[in-house]
Amino acid sequence: MWEVVGKAAVVLLAARVCWSLLKGVYGSFLAAALGLHLSLKKTGDWAVVTGATDGIGKAYAFELARRGLKIVLVSRNPFKLQNVAAEISTKYGVETKIVDVDFTKDDIYDRLQRELGEMDVGVLVNNVGMGFEHPEYFNELLDCQKTYNSIINCNIKSLTHMSLIVLPGMAERKRGLIINVSSLSSIVPAPLLAVYGATKAYVDSLSVSLAAEYRSRGITVQCVLPGFVVSNMSKVKRPSLMIPTPMAYVKSSLKTIGVEARTAGYYMHKLQIYMIEVMKTYLPGGILTHIVFNQLKTIRIKGLKKREREAKAQ
């Protein structure tokens, strides 16, 4: 009897993994090859990208410009913004606009409303986000109250308010696409990165609800959940099979637009998500948290040592 139950469980697990892999292959490769993904050019004239001067945001800005959209770049640093805007218009011959705002601040949305409210925005990429210098216990992070306020403003308030600014126009025109950048940290336990993980879970949850609310009004809302990508934030400098460059990540992710509403975007990150889901389903509760906690403790110790070295060097 138990032998039969055991075999059935293994068959079910194998079937589930195969189904997930096939779905992933369809979303990442087949659907785009068959031309089933959303045509970005049909969404409108402009694409707005937050956190657009580095990493994943910069790659979205370049790739959307390559596909013929005019680009609004939104970040903090006006000089970096001017440089990236010039690079884009020289390379792709599209119009650009820059808005320098700091998303950790509260008082920026009236200005953004004035700058963007009347434009034909087809695509909004809510990419901007920030994390910690290194993993740390909840109340032991340096200046934690201020840091948590900044993270909440930058990771949660930004996409909520940016979406409020562009959605009315999109709904009126009955077309549009919002891409919200969450993280794999939203689906795994994130002890020592608790606030970051929680903000990314908000991005995930809001996206799923908005996708359902606005689908019938012609607006697509996609949530992407990247694993590690080479960038300043991840502090990973060299790409590998598991850690793509921002451009490789974005090119892969854009193939899933209109096909997958919630996706890791990059095939190898999809595999990571499947592994996590399988572990969550089949391992006793708490084991995954324990594994992640131990990994992050090691990174925390390295981070603290680095901070100590830097303090001594000053």
> Which of 123-131, 162-170, 259-267, 298-306 is the region at the interface with ligand NAP (rule: CB under 6 A)?
123-131
Q: Which residues are CB-neighbours of 109 under 8 A, at least 6 positions away? A: 161, 165
Binder of ligand NAP out of 24, 28, 40, 53 (CB under 6 A)? 53
* 196 labelled catalytic: yes
List own/partner pairs for 84-92 with CB under 8 A and 24 or more apart. Answer: 84/52, 84/53, 84/58, 88/61, 88/62, 91/62, 91/65, 91/66, 92/62, 92/65, 92/66, 92/68
Q: Nearest distance from residue 102's CB to ligand NAP, in Å?
A: 5
Decide whether 70 or 269 has the Cβ nearer to ligand NAP. 269
Rg (CA), the chain: 20
Q: Nearest distance from residue 301's CB to ligand NAP, in Å?
A: 21
Q: Tell me, what DSSP letter sits at residue 72?
A: E
Using CB under 6 A as the binding rule, whether residue 56 contacts ligand NAP is answered as yes
Q: Nearest distance from residue 238's CB to ligand NAP, in Å?
A: 13
Binding pattern to ligand NAP, positions 60-99, x when CB under 6 A? ---------------xxx--x-------------------
Using CB under 6 A as the binding rule, whether residue 262 contacts ligand NAP is answered as no
Q: Which candidate, 223, 286, 298, 259, places its Cα nearest to that of 25?
A: 259
Using CB under 6 A as the binding rule, whether residue 104 contacts ligand NAP is answered as yes
Q: What is the identity of the amino acid at 104? A: T
Using CB under 6 A as the binding rule, whether residue 240 contacts ligand NAP is answered as no
- Binding residues for ligand NAP, rule CB under 6 A, total 29
Using CB under 6 A as the binding rule, whether residue 109 contacts ligand NAP is answered as no
Burial (CB < 10 A; 0-12, 13-18, 19+), residue 90, is: exposed
As a whole number of angstroms, the distance between CA 133 and CA 138 comes to 13
Of 196, 214, 249, 266, catalytic: 196
Q: Nearest distance from residue 127's CB to ligand NAP, in Å?
A: 5
Q: Nearest distance from residue 182's CB to ligand NAP, in Å?
A: 7
Q: Nearest distance from residue 264's CB to ligand NAP, in Å?
A: 10
In whole angstroms, what separates CA 43 from the centre of its chain? 20
Name which of residues 151 to 210 contact ligand NAP (CB under 6 A).
Answer: 154, 181, 183
Binder of ligand NAP out of 54, 87, 95, 204 (CB under 6 A)? 54
Decide whether 127 or 220 has the Cβ nearer to ligand NAP. 127
Inter-residue contact 83 to 100 (CB < 8 Å)? no
Q: Which residues are CB-neighbours of 133 under 8 A, at least 6 positions away? A: 142, 303, 307
Binder of ligand NAP out of 24, 51, 244, 265 (CB under 6 A)? 51
Q: Which candidate, 280, 264, 279, places its Cα nearest to that of 24?
A: 264
Q: Nearest distance from residue 173's CB to ligand NAP, in Å?
A: 27
Report the b/e string of 266-305 with b at 16+ CB within 10 A. Answer: bbbbbbbbbebeeeeeeeeeeeeeeebeeebeeebeebee
Record the tokens describing residue 35, joined without a space.
Answer: 């031309």
Decide whether 28 or 182 has the Cβ nearer to ligand NAP. 182
- CB atoms closer than 10 angstroms to residue 313: 6
Decide whether 128 or 206 has the Cβ nearer to ligand NAP. 128
Q: Which residues are catalytic?
A: 196
Contacting residues toward ligand NAP, per CB under 6 A: 51-57, 75-77, 80, 102-104, 127-130, 154, 181, 183, 226, 228-229, 231-234, 246
